[in-house]
A = this chain, B = another copy of it.
């Protein structure tokens, strides 16, 4: 299983050259640019071995070699050296977050934009999800006599609004009572708990306002749950058209179409639970990504995972660079979000 050192060097050369050029790389190139001490013929022999082992492939007889998914995997796991971001890049990311105090969604979207700019691939990002966060405070406000606004603050510091319509008028005293009641019943519950919450549990103990509660609560909960549908945000979709593998309009189109399947992206991204995940070509669960690679990572508030970001690119991706960037990004994002929460 363990390749010889020279084989590794050759595989590394093939992969890194292919990442740069998108052209099959031949023995002569390697001999000239990477292993200057070794003749093409020797390299050819090694390459034949590497091909037999499945790390590289030949598009056609008279072409150079191209890395296979298996090859990229070995490269990511064992060969590539983790590139460190230079200070300029790190600062860029940090500065980005300093500029974006304010709404969390905007923060997250800006992160996505920067991510696509820095990587030159397509970035996707999942806006914070509240499932695992709990209700900290609820405040009902009367908008007009038939409309009530519920503001919910979660322990992750995220604020959600629900506009609720009620049949009968709600006086301000009643509103306050309802408010207290809701707080006493719901505070501390996480979004998931809300889903399974039985209406009876609440209504039973609040006879006087039973009918209002019965009207209001389901709508409140439903809106909350519904509004928890996280948003997928994309950036840099056009970047992929710079890549030679998408010079074929058909391929470009199918790629872009995949990017518009928001549910698919959601699944892919929300599945990623480990801190950093690299999925190469056919390793990917979904067929649509079989000739892409996907690097995903999660970001957290107070240690709780609440969202994730990802970069989609060709299997010929600058893994080392992208991983560093995504890593730096999620860490900064987590840090700033946690800081915002704590005030």
Contact between B241 and A260, CB atoms less than 8 A apart: no
Main secondary structure of the interface of A (DSSP, over half): mixed
Q: Per-residue 0/1 for A332-343: is the Cβ within 8 Å of any B Cβ (1 yes, 0 no)?
A: 000000001001
**Chain B residues within an 8 Å CB radius of A139:** 139, 141, 151
CB of A253 closer than 8 Å to a CB of B: yes
Q: Is the CB of B227 within 8 A of A256?
A: no
In the bound assembly, the distance between CA atoms of A182 and B227 in angstroms comes to: 29
> Could you say which interface size class chain A belongs to?
35 or more
Q: Does A73 contact B (CB under 8 A)?
A: no
| Given A157-B163, A163-B157, A253-B241, A141 and B149 contact (CB-CB distance below 8 Å) | no
Report how many copies the assembly holds. 2
Task: Convert A268-291 into 0s and 1s, putting 1 for each residue whose CB lies closer than 8 angstroms to a CB of B.
Answer: 000000000000000000000000
Interface assignment of A161: CB less than 8 Å from any CB of chain B: yes
Please, could you name 21 A-B residue pairs with CB atoms under 8 Å apart, sorted by A? A102-B227, A141-B153, A143-B153, A143-B343, A144-B343, A147-B157, A147-B343, A149-B151, A149-B159, A151-B151, A151-B161, A157-B163, A159-B161, A236-B260, A237-B237, A237-B256, A238-B253, A238-B257, A238-B260, A241-B252, A241-B253
Knowing that A157-B163, A161-B161, A237-B256 are A-B contacts, what are 15 other residue pairs whose CB atoms are under 8 Å apart, sorted by A's residue number?
A103-B227, A141-B151, A143-B153, A143-B157, A143-B343, A149-B153, A149-B159, A151-B161, A159-B161, A165-B343, A238-B260, A241-B256, A242-B253, A249-B249, A252-B252
